[in-house]
Structure 1
């Protein structure tokens, strides 16, 4: 049976949870994973960049 509610929580997010990843610059990708920079700010990144080293996350200018 199909899972009709899968991903339904994304509909309430702006742009349905999609945008440009600040780490890898991929466009129209789901930004679902919060990563904390060393200065304490939080940046949402894509699935691939969730496992990126901390130096790449700190290089983000957001």
Structure 2
């Protein structure tokens, strides 16, 4: 995941993103199509990594 921060003066342009950010994150299970039981099965995955980087300019 790669993202860039947003200046306060540009936040008004991101109203839809702000509405999405306020929703319950559990909805991503359905959006992405994750099977929580399989995702939690340690026999299926040796490594599951989630990382991010912020680019400051």
> Could you say whether these structures have the same fold, taking a TM-score greater than 0.5 normalized by the shorter chain as the test?
no
Higher relative contact order (CA 8 A, sep 6+): 2
Structure with greater strand percent? 1
Q: Which has the higher helix share?
A: 2
